[in-house]
């Protein structure tokens, strides 16, 4: 039985006959609509389905609501359909405020995938020769450009429209007092906290297309430092930020926000501290933003569905790249027990779960991936946990 069918069975428990069949039909239509919208955001079908079911909420809550509507023995079919529409309508009315997003302007100048003589003049003869040969082949330019763009880092939509953030705070029951003439300097009164709080996020503000945008990382950091309220991010694409009584959806259909991108700020200090403890000195790290099209391996990993997995690669240390070496890390959701990972060649790559094994492999110039589970359930105390070696298998 598929995930959708299990959900429909649980959500219509308590109904029977034609009433149950029509309720299932209405719910299935709502699920299909949500799946379609999530696939527009770039999700794979399986991930989009799971996101749609999470968005609809608990099937047991829906079953309870439908049962209350269908109280009479011979209630009309219209009552059941109205019950489904009512449940979905309440959900729509209760949608959390949306916050528009944009990438950091400093990171939106992508690698220009232009293959002409002017570009070749910047390359050595040895580098330009294979490109010229590729261009001479039928369809060569299209293939070169496609490959180039597949290896271009994708900027994260990590800046949030400031007016939308303020509106979401207000909708969450906060009293917001913005000081005139000082964009980003706020005084907040939050339900349950007796005194007014100073929220100075001026350093996290940038002007993008004439509008003030706030760094999502700056927002998360000041929320942690100024309050003891619970802070959570739920959902992989356009996640909901739960900050005390406020529930704020970050991102829109046209400019989606990905939770993994926002959690990089939590991963980096944990990773840095772990390496200092293990090696006695600081190490350099870079965030891997290359799109999945450029991946070369798949990591088979036995973890619960929805687990975030962090991989750290030593490819810069063991390869022939002339750049100063650094470790490359990525945070991803394990999808059906798989995580795509990149390595620049087809050498044997070892998946390891301890820092000592990773450092040893790097010392011997052995390609390796360090693998951790990342637990962001409480953004005040995010955790990295090793994955048992028996649960890992790396396939090219």
Classify residue 322 by burial, with Cβ atoms within 10 Å: 0-12, 13-18, 19+.
exposed
Q: Are residues 270 and 389 in the same domain?
A: yes
Q: Has residue 8 got a pLDDT over 60?
A: yes
User: CA–CA separation, 139 vs 144, rounded Å?
Assistant: 9
Q: Are residues 171 and 137 in the same domain?
A: no
Domain assignment of residue 103, yes or no? no
Domain boundary among 104, 125, 150: 150
Q: Are residues 340 and 266 in the same domain?
A: yes
Q: Are residues 277 and 388 in the same domain?
A: yes
Q: Are residues 26 and 67 in the same domain?
A: yes
Closest of 156, 192, 182, 188 to residue 170, by C-alpha: 188
Q: Are residues 23 and 79 in the same domain?
A: yes
Q: Are residues 326 and 376 in the same domain?
A: yes
Q: Has residue 100 got a pLDDT over 90?
A: yes
How many domains is the chain partitioned into structurally? 4
- pLDDT value, residue 92: 41
Token digits of residue 392: 């890992």
Domain assignment of residue 364, yes or no? yes
- pLDDT value, residue 74: 44
Domain assignment of residue 102, yes or no? no
**Which tens digits make up the pLDDT trace of 108-119?**
555 457 788 887
The parent domain of residue 139 ranges over 112-150
pTM: 0.66
- pLDDT value, residue 101: 94
Q: Are residues 67 and 21 in the same domain?
A: yes
- Where does residue 235 fall: left (phi above 0), alpha (psi -120 to 50 degrees), or beta otherwise? left
**Which tens digits make up the pLDDT trace of 282-311?**
888 888 776 655 566 777 888 777 788 888
Q: Are residues 247 and 268 in the same domain?
A: no
**Which tens digits make up the pLDDT trace of 13-40?**
888 888 888 888 888 888 887 787 666 6
Q: Are residues 269 and 314 in the same domain?
A: yes
Q: How big is the CA angle at 372 (ends 237 and 332), to the nearest 5 degrees?
A: 20
Q: Are residues 124 and 227 in the same domain?
A: no
């Amino acid at each position: 039985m598929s995930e959708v069918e299990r959900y429909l069975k649980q959500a219509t428990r308590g109904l029977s006959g034609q009433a149950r069949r029509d309720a299932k039909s209405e719910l299935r239509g709502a699920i299909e609509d949500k799946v379609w919208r999530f696939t527009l955001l770039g999700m794979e079908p399986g991930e989009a389905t799971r996101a749609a079911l999470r968005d609809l909420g608990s099937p047991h809550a829906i079953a309870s609501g439908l049962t209350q509507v269908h109280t009479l023995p011979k209630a009309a079919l219209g009552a059941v359909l109205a019950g489904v529409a009512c449940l979905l309508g309440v959900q729509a009315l209760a949608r959390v405020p949306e916050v528009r997003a944009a990438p950091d302007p400093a990171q939106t100048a992508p690698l220009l995938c232009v293959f002409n003589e002017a570009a070749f003049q910047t390359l050595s003869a040895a580098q330009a020769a294979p490109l010229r040969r590729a261009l001479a082949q039928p369809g060569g330019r299209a293939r070169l450009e496609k490959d180039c763009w597949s290896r271009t880092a994708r900027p994260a939509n990590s800046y949030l429209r400031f007016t939308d953030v303020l509106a979401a705070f207000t909708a969450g029951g906060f009293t917001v007092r913005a000081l005139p003439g000082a964009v980003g300097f706020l005084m907040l009164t939050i339900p349950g906290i007796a005194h007014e709080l100073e929220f100075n996020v001026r350093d996290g503000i940038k002007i993008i297309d004439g509008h003030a945008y706030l760094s999502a990382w700056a927002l998360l950091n000041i929320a942690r430092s100024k309050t003891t309220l619970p802070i959570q991010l739920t959902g992989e694409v356009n996640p909901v930020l739960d900050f005390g009584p406020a529930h704020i959806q970050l991102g829109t259909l046209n400019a989606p926000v990905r939770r993994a991108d926002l959690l990089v700020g939590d991963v980096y200090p944990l990773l840095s501290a772990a390496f200092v403890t293990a090696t006695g000195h600081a190490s350099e790290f870079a965030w891997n933003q290359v799109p999945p099209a450029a991946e070369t391996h798949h990591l088979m990993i036995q973890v619960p569905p929805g687990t975030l997995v962090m991989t750290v690669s030593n490819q810069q240390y063991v390869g022939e790249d002339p750049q100063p070496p650094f470790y490359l890390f990525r945070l991803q959701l394990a999808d059906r027990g798989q995580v795509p990972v990149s390595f620049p060649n087809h050498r044997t790559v070892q998946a390891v779960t301890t820092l000592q094994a990773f450092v040893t492999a790097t010392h011997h110039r052995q390609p390796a991936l360090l693998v951790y589970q990342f637990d962001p359930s409480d953004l005040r105390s995010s955790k990295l946990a090793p994955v048992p070696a028996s649960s890992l298998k790396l396939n090219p």
